[in-house]
Amino acid sequence: MNGLSLQDVVVRYGAVPAVDGVSLDVAPGSVVALLGPSGCGKSSLLRAVAGLEPLAEGTVSWDGASLAGVPVHRRGFGLMFQDGQLFAHRTVGGNVAYGLPARSAARVAELLELVGLSGYEDRGIATLSGGERQRVALARALAPAPRLLLLDEPLSALDRALRERLAVDLRAALVTTGTTAVFVTHDQDEAFAVADRVAVMAAGRLLQVDAPADLWVRPATREVASFLGYEAFVPLDSPAAAPLRDALDVSPSGATLALAEGAFVVGRTGVAKGTVRGVSSRRGRSEVRVDVDGIGVVTALGPVGGRWTVGDIVELGVEPDALAVLDA
Amino acid sequence: MSLSTLTRPDVAAASGRGRVVVFWSAAVALPLIFLGVFFAWPVAVMIAKGFVVDGQLDLSGFADVFSRPRTWRIVGLTIAQATLGTVLSVLLGVPGAYVLYRHTFRGRTLVRAFVTVPFVLPTVVVGVAFRSLLVSGGPLGFLHLDGTFAAIVAALVFFNYAVVVRAVGGLWERLDSRAEQAARALGASPWTAFRTVTLPQLTPAIASAASLAFLFCATAFGTVLVLGGLQFGTIETEIWIQTTQFLDLRAAAVLSVVQLVVVAGTLIVAGRARSRREQALGLTLPSASVRPLRLRRPAGMPPGDGHALTLVATAVTALVVLLLALPLVNLVVRSLRTGDGWGLDHYTALGGWGTTGGSLSVTVWQATVNSLRVALDATMIALVVGGLVALVVSRRPRRAVGRRAVAGLDALFMLPLGVSAVTVGFGFLLSMHHPFGLPVDLRTSPLLVPIAQAVVAVPLVVRVVLPVLRAIDPRLREAAATLGATPGRVLRTVDLSIAGRSLGLAVGFAFAASLGEFGATSFLARPDRPTLPVVIFRLIGRPGPESYGMALAASVVLAVLTAGIVAACERLRAPGAGGEW
């Protein structure tokens, strides 16, 4: 097996397992996101791969060779933290050059250019904005050309607009350099934007590993689906699910149907009815909280400028892309 | 309420502002007057005695004193002792801080408290404890270190180890370990990561601790006087010898100035280091970076991952703790040894007047009560003055002039920490007889000794309370003000209530400092009302094993008293409220 391979990895803090038997392969050149709520053990798993947490059980290996006896600094794995952890007593250039042999000015310049900070070599860390700091941290981590880059929530400390822009830049930098990477995040948009494959974790276990699109269309369990943002679940054979079955063109069975935000659309030709419970607006579109008989309160999308008041009965159409059938 | 304040709200506002101005003026003026009358004036009088001859300024004393080989020997000795003592304290203290503040283990609280004990011990007791360890016939007598340079340096390290451990450990335990981990992931070995990342982050704390340790070493008096005999000394003991033995006030004045220069230089370095402290450091809660201490390599941790470094630091620290315990345990053991076996004879003798070599004029127990009474008064004075200084210095005025004034005030009140206590004490004797031409003789006032001790204790109070006040988020005060609190109420409910948590430690240190104060007190204590350190010093000077045994027993009493009071006070403070101590 080439690349990173985790076999039944267990990490314990005292008696409590933070990571509980995780197996995962990361092929060379690919980017895998570990996605999960805070406290699910994703950061502990990342630290175990880096060699910062001892393994209680299982193995971490690279290109088939176990890393059990290899200390952190000999693993050749880069590490990037949420708040950069830049060395305040060094300049930008000094930070990027830290992992490089002496006289690597050309390589430092090359990396600063890659992250869009050409000419920043002599700037002090204190003069940088939050986004610039994370770019320097990325350049520093990429500088020694690590065989694997581990990113621990690298964008979480930034504001939303910056985060979305940097996610794109991060993906570009990883692809340009052909870096194999494991990326920890609790933000699914970030995971989907950066990673080739997404591994969903909860309570120390891996729930599902898939490409972003597959993960969205076929969440393996109700737990994965709710973490991805599916907000309501109905048995496929219940009477209330009939219009949804028609939209998906599936027959009734024991499976469960998951509804994401926008599974119902207000104002299209009505196949169902709901009572308005509240209205809000996000980026111009109306989000209408509607109570649908037999399903519960869900978020339906409405056209720009729609006006409803609480208690109105509205007609609802169905958007099949926001529905998923769960086997379990 | 009068009609005018109802109809003229601007008048009410103005009187409120007036009260604020009056309060802050008093907060600045009171400590300044105190320091002026009881520190600057006596020191100036003492120094003037050396340089003013028949009303004429005469600086020939400098040339005279500096042409004596003895002066150069003493200055050289002072600097050599202080440098060696400081370097050793740092070299041993940094691993100590790592073990005691970056790790958890059973009994850590106890070890931390124990390590602090030497720092609060009266210097005379430290001297006696080391002597009893090193004299021929003592447990380490075979090393022949009694009365040597090495013995003095060892005693200085004994005293200053805690300064480094506490200051460095306090920062280290909050230091985010992820910066070091980032370095490790970039290919740095544990040692390289420590050297290139952690050490630079700790440098301000180390520099600040080192300059304090240097200050304490360079001005050491009681310890050096007891251990050094006539052969070794510091500028401070030399001032004492010149004043009391040779009655050469000119030489004493010149040496006081020399010491002032050394102290001022060190304080400037310390101030710089402190102001750079916590510069953009990644700080976390201690719980996030502290790990259990393991002697065996944990399962799953590869070799070469820093475990060896931890082991070395642990071994060094264990050895240091043993060495720290040695003089203390030995002191207690020796105080229990009588001529023909073991017993409490020396302790029983503390109730008597002493039989050989002249009377003490008071019993040791009377001296103890006197010491406690004096220390209580000194602590009260030091708390009021030091608290006001800390309050004023913790402000950050908008204008640059104001900020500079605040910084100047901060440095000014550190001076008593380093200026020769002997100079202060002798200066008191010279200046308090008809002070400023007033027809009173303050030399007989029972307040003289507490005031002199308070002068020494004020800097300690400031250093303990100030970091706590400075750490208060200004937005907390703004929030209180927007909720309608007057400036006075903000001060009471925010500043004072938060700083109050560090008050226990401040009281403890002030009390310990005045209980153990010897330099100034040895001049000022009236013969019929000596303090405990003065009595111990008298006992050492008297011949006979009985007096020596009494000195040992009295030292144990003083040590237990001091350590007990500091421990009790430290229990009162909230965790993490000690600032850099």
Q: Which of B175, B178, B186 to mutate to test the interface with A (most CBs of A within 10 A)?
A: B186
Its CATH class, for the domain covering A4-223, is alpha beta
Question: Are B182 and A85 within 8 A, CB to CB?
Answer: yes
Q: Which fold has domain B69-299+310-335?
A: MetI-like fold (1.10.3720)
**Cβ proximity of A6 and A58 under 8 Å:** yes
Residue B415 in this model has a pLDDT that exceeds 70: yes
Distances from the Cα of A60 to the Cαs of A4, A25, B558, in angstroms?
A: 7, 10, 60
pLDDT in tens, B504-562: 888 888 898 888 888 888 888 887 888 888 888 888 877 777 888 888 888 899 888 88
Phi then psi for residue A257, to 5 deg, are -105, 130
Taking every pair of Cα atoms in chain A, the longest distance, rounded to a whole number of angstroms, is 72
**Cβ proximity of B83 and B277 under 8 Å:** no
Question: Are B184 and A73 within 8 A, CB to CB?
Answer: yes
Q: Considering just the CA atoms, what is the radius of gyration of chain B in Å? A: 25
Determine the pLDDT at residue B357. 42
- Comparing CB atoms, the residue among A68, A78, A88 nearest residue B302 is A68
Distance CA A50, CA B520 (A): 59
Determine the pLDDT at residue A149. 94
DSSP state of A251: -
The CA distance from B90 to the nearest CA of chain A, in Å, is 21
Q: How many CB pairs under 8 A join A and B?
A: 96
Question: Are A54 and B301 within 8 A, CB to CB?
Answer: yes
pLDDT in tens, B210-267: 988 998 888 888 888 888 777 788 888 888 888 888 888 888 888 888 888 888 887 7
**Cβ proximity of A136 and A142 under 8 Å:** no
Chain A touched by B185 (CB under 8 Å)? yes
Its CATH class, for the domain covering A229-326, is mainly beta
Distance CA A208, CA A186 (A): 15
Domain ranges of chain A: 4-223, 229-326
Domain ranges of chain B: 69-299+310-335
Paired strand residues for A34: A184, A199
Question: Are B186 and A55 within 8 A, CB to CB?
Answer: no
> What is the residue-averaged pLDDT of chain B?
82
Q: What is the pTM of this model?
A: 0.80
Q: Which is it for strands A230-235 and A65-66: parallel, antiparallel or unpaired?
A: unpaired
Distance CA B217, CA B221 (A): 9
Alpha helix stretches (DSSP H) within A195-311? 212-217, 222-228, 242-248
Chain A touched by B292 (CB under 8 Å)? no
Question: Are A73 and B201 within 8 A, CB to CB?
Answer: no
The closest of B522, B530, B544 to B357, measured between CA atoms, is: B544
Answer yes or no: same fold for A4-223 and A229-326: no
Residue B3 in this model has a pLDDT that exceeds 70: no
Q: Which of A59, A62, A70, A87 to mutate to test the interface with B (most CBs of B within 10 A)?
A: A87
Positions in chain A short of pLDDT 70: 268, 328
Determine the pLDDT at residue B8. 47
Question: Are A85 and B300 within 8 A, CB to CB?
Answer: no
- Comparing CB atoms, the residue among B179, B301, B303 nearest residue A85 is B179
The 3-state DSSP class for residue B212 equals: helix
B89: tokens are: 């304290």
Residue B576 in this model has a pLDDT that exceeds 90: no
pLDDT in tens, B10-49: 544 555 677 888 888 888 899 999 998 888 888 888 888 7
The CA distance from B203 to the nearest CA of chain A, in Å, is 10
Chain A touched by B190 (CB under 8 Å)? yes
The 3-state DSSP class for residue A279 equals: strand
Determine the pLDDT at residue B5. 40
Q: Which residues contact B137 (CB under 8 A, 6 or more apart)?
A: none
Q: Which residues contact B192 (CB under 8 A, 6 or more apart)?
A: A73, B183
Q: In this prediction, what percent of chain B has a pLDDT beyond 70?
A: 90
CA atoms within 13 A on the CB side of B362: 20
Over residues B436-454, the mean pLDDT reads 79
Distance CA A50, CA B91 (A): 31
Question: Are B190 and A77 within 8 A, CB to CB?
Answer: no
Q: Which of A12, A85, A127, A152 to mutate to test the interface with B (most CBs of B within 10 A)?
A: A85
Determine the pLDDT at residue A146. 92
B302 to chain A: closest CA residue: A69
CA atoms within 13 A on the CB side of B301: 13
**Cβ proximity of A256 and A272 under 8 Å:** no
Question: Are B188 and A98 within 8 A, CB to CB?
Answer: yes
- Comparing CB atoms, the residue among B182, B279, B303 nearest residue A88 is B279
Listed ranges B7-16, B442-451, B566-575; the one with the highest mean pLDDT: B442-451
**Cβ proximity of A260 and A230 under 8 Å:** yes
pLDDT band at B7 (very low <50, low <70, confident <90, very high): very low
**B54 Cα distance to chain centroid:** 39
Chain A touched by B201 (CB under 8 Å)? yes
As a dihedral over the C-alpha atoms of residue B388, residue B390, residue B392, residue B397, rounded to 10 degrees, the angle is -170
